[in-house]
Amino acid sequence: MNKIVLGTEQAEDFDLTYALLKRLRFANSALSVAHVIEPVHPAALAVSQDAAYALAQDLERILEAAQKHADSVLNHAAEAMKADGVEAETQALKGHRVDELLKYCESVDADLIAVGSELKGPIASVLFGSVSRAIAQHAKRSLLVAKKGKENGSLHAVLATDHSKYMDRCLDELLRLHPTGIRRLDIITAFRSEDYLQRHSLGEMPVTGIDVLERIEQELHEANERVKQKLKALVPTIHSEVARDAAIPAITKHMK
C-alpha cells in the first residue's frame, strides 16, 4: 500500500491539496495529514507590531493560539475526509516546519508527500521562504505540489522528459504510485537546435544523408512513443510533442 502524507498549514491548504489527491485517485493508498506547530521566533513576529507586543506580553497565549489553530486545521481535515469515507490519521508535530514534516515522512516510510503551494507576501517570503520549495530541495520522497486552479473534472497532465535514466526511474515511480484519475497526458521533449548543430559542426555527431535536426527529432518522437507504450495502461489518451526550444519555455508554452 502506498503511504501519502499531506502536509498542511491552513484549512485552505488542506482543501487545495486534498482536492488534487482525490482527482488523481491513487490506487491502493493510505493518507495521513500532518500540521507542524513552529516555535515562536521574535524576529519573525517583529514584522507585525501587534504580534511583537503580544509576544512580549503573553508568550503562553501565543503558544495556546498556535495549538488551537493546529487543532482547528486537523479537525477540518478529519471532517472532510470522514465525509468522503476516508480513514486517515492526523498528526500535530512541533518544531521547524520542513524538518519535522520530513522526519515524520521518514518515520512512516511515506511514498509521497503532498503539500499546497502557499502564497506569501515579499516580507514573509524573505523571513519564512517557501515550504514547498524547501521540501523539494531536501525530501528523499516523491513530492506533489498543489496549486490553485481547476478543482474538479478530469485531469489533463503534461509529462516533460529528457529520456535519461533518471527519468526512467521517475516513470517507474509514477507507475508504482498508479494515479488512475489522469484522463489525458501530453508527453513533451524539448531540445535546443543550436546545441545539436554545434555538436554536429564539431564532428561530435555523425554526418548523415538527412538533415541532422530532422534525424534528432525523429529519434525523440520514437523515444516518446516508447514512453506512451509504457504508460498506456495508466492513461487512456496520450499525445506526444517534440519542441525545438529550451525545456522551460517549451513546457510553459505547451501548458498555456
Per the listing, cell 512512516 goes with 108
**Domain 2-146 class in CATH:** alpha beta
> Would you say domain 155-255 falls under CATH 3.40.50.620?
yes
Average pLDDT, integer, range 119-148: 71
Q: Which residue has the cell 520530513?
A: 102
| Interval 34-68: pLDDT, tens | 999 987 655 555 555 665 555 556 677 777 888 99
Domain-wise residue ranges, the chain = 2-146, 155-255
pLDDT value at residue 53 = 59
* Interval 141-198: pLDDT, tens: 999 999 887 666 779 999 999 999 999 999 999 999 999 999 999 999 998 877 666 6
Contact 153, 1 (CB under 8 A): no
Give the model's confidence band at 121: pLDDT under 50 very low, under 70 low, under 90 confident, else very high: very low
Alpha carbons 77 and 53: distance in angstroms, whole number:
32
